[in-house]
Structure 1
Amino acid sequence: MRLPTVDAGQVDDDAYLLDVRENDEWTAGHQPGAHHVPMMEIPARAGEVPTDRDVVVVCRVGGRSAQVVAYLMQRGFENVYNLDGGMFAWAAAGRPVVGEDGSAGHVL
Structure 2
Amino acid sequence: MTDNELTVEDLADRLRTDDGIVVLDVRESWEVELCHIAQSIHIPLGQLPSAVAALPEDRDIAVLCHHGMRSAYATQWLRTQGFDRAINLAGGIDAWARRIDPTMKVY
Task: Give the length in aligned residue pairs.
Answer: 100
> TM-score, length-normalised on structure 1?
0.85
Q: By how many angstroms is 1:76 displaced?
A: 1.2
- The structure 1 segments of at least 4 consecutive aligned residues displaced by more than 2 Å after TM superposition are none
Identity %: 32
The answer for unaligned runs of 5 or more in structure 1 is: 97-103
Match of 2:78 among 72, 76, 81: 72
The answer for unaligned runs of 5 or more in structure 2 is: none
The amino acid across from 2:106 in the alignment is V
Residue deviations 1:42-75 (CA, integer Å, cap 9, x gap): 0000111111211000000000001100111111
Q: Counterpart of 1:37? A: 43
Instruction: Assess if the C-alpha contact under 8 Å between 1:39 and 1:64 holds in 2.
Output: yes
Q: Counterpart of 1:62? A: 68
Match of 1:47 among 21, 36, 53: 53
Q: Counterpart of 1:89? A: 95
CA RMSD of aligned residues (A): 1.7
Instruction: Assess if the C-alpha contact under 8 Å between 1:59 and 1:65 holds in 2.
Output: yes
2:98 maps to 1:107? no
The amino acid across from 1:107 in the alignment is V
Q: Counterpart of 1:99? A: none
Aligned CA distance change for structure 1 residues 74 and 3 (closer, same or farther; 3 Å): farther
Q: By how many angstroms is 1:107 displaced?
A: 3.4
| Larger relative helix fraction | 2
> TM-score, length-normalised on structure 2?
0.86
Instruction: Assess if the C-alpha contact under 8 Å between 2:8 and 2:90 holds in 1.
Output: yes
